Chain A
Amino acid sequence: MDFATSDARTPLGASADNGLKIVVVGGFGVGKTTLVRSVSEIRPLNTEETMTQAGAGVDDIRQVRGKSATTVAFDFGRITLDARNVLYLFGAPGQERFWFLWDRLFSGTLGAVVLVDTRRIDDSWYAIDRLEHHGTPFIVACNDFGGAVRAGEDVREALDLDPQVPLIDCDARSRESGKHTLITLVQHVKNRYADPSARAGLPRQEYV
């Protein structure tokens, strides 16, 4: 079997010891991969996870042969933050079956960016609903597809967003804009959770 890997692999420094996760979710073609690519230090890679309806991850191939197995593909990029911290950015589809895998794959995530195309706003309802259910902090970023004003109050209303959830514009093709989007998310997480008086509704943090 040939496991030749890409020559372009950029290894992490030897002292890297803390992986962190941020997830970008959104409807089809909303710019998830584009955003990951804009800020990643590696070419986005993709992989998949398979699970049964019963909720167990499949690591016995006999289950995959059964009709009850579901496979979800996702892509990811990487940002070296400093000598120890490495941030992984995952682009994941917002469709229903994906959320079966949330706890298994994305528990312990710092937060999520919900990427929205304001011409197809209802594509994001389900993702927002699930994130709220999981207690994952998130922001909403309206991607620039050439329309006029995007991240307005009408969008907040259409998404029924809590007033404290940041709602911003972004251009997934721009590194600066992608960077700003991530900073907005982490600042929001810090404001909301790192303040000891505000630790309500914390997401579950178990390992899976």
Chain B
Amino acid sequence: MSRPGRDDAPDRLYTITQGRSRSGPDTPFDLVTLVVAESDPVTGMQSEHVAILELTRFPTSVVEVAAELRLPVSITKVLLCDLLAAGRVSARHPRRPALTDPDILEQVLVGLRNL
């Protein structure tokens, strides 16, 4: 974690994450983790956080949030970490490993055949 000093040049993405860096394996979010809002936006909240809470009234994947906000995936994850830490969203992580789970694979096949 690092805090930007006052002299940092303004930049949209930098401003959004307030310069925080949270890369690597401590990020709990997968691309297809489904995010669900646990509260309504409140006044004074960062606009990106408001947008996420509005988007995730129904379960919405991390990658959809990133696409809808037009932000890179990793920046989106930083924002989601904030909201998760504040208890404003919950996260439904993919069940692992799907690859070797015959029940899940069968459910996928059934779902695809029913398309």
Interface residues of chain A, those whose CB is within 8 Å of chain B, are: 1, 3, 5-6, 9, 11-14, 16-21, 39, 45-51, 56-62, 64, 71, 76, 78-82, 85-88, 90, 105-106, 108, 110-111, 137, 175, 179, 182-183, 186-187, 189-190, 193-194, 199, 202-203, 205-208
Number of interface residues of B (CB under 8 A): 64
Q: Are A88 and B63 in contact, CB atoms less than 8 angstroms apart?
A: yes
**For residue A203, which residues in chain B have a CB less than 8 angstroms away from its CB?**
99
Q: How far is the CA of A205 from the CA of B109 in the complex (A)?
A: 21
B59, A12: Cβ atoms closer than 8 Å: yes
**Contact (Cβ within 8 A) A45 B59:** no
B29 nearest in chain A by CB position: A207
Question: Within 8 Å CB of A1, what residues of B?
Answer: 47-48
A56 touches B111 (CB 8 A): no
Query: Can you spell out 24 A-B residue pairs with CB atoms less than 8 angstroms apart?
Result: A3-B47, A12-B34, A12-B59, A13-B59, A14-B58, A19-B30, A19-B31, A19-B34, A47-B73, A49-B73, A57-B24, A60-B20, A60-B21, A61-B19, A62-B14, A79-B112, A105-B73, A106-B31, A182-B112, A189-B105, A193-B99, A194-B101, A203-B99, A206-B25
B 83-114 to A, binary, CB cutoff 8 A, 1 in contact else 0:
00000000010111111111011111111110
Number of A-B contacts (CB under 8 A): 195
Q: Nearest-CB distance from A171 to chain B (Å)? A: 16
- Since A81-B107, A82-B107 are in contact, a sample of 18 more A-B pairs with Cβ atoms closer than 8 Å, ordered by chain A residue number, is A12-B60, A14-B58, A17-B34, A18-B34, A18-B98, A20-B98, A47-B63, A57-B24, A57-B73, A61-B19, A76-B67, A87-B108, A88-B32, A88-B61, A108-B94, A205-B96, A207-B30, A208-B25
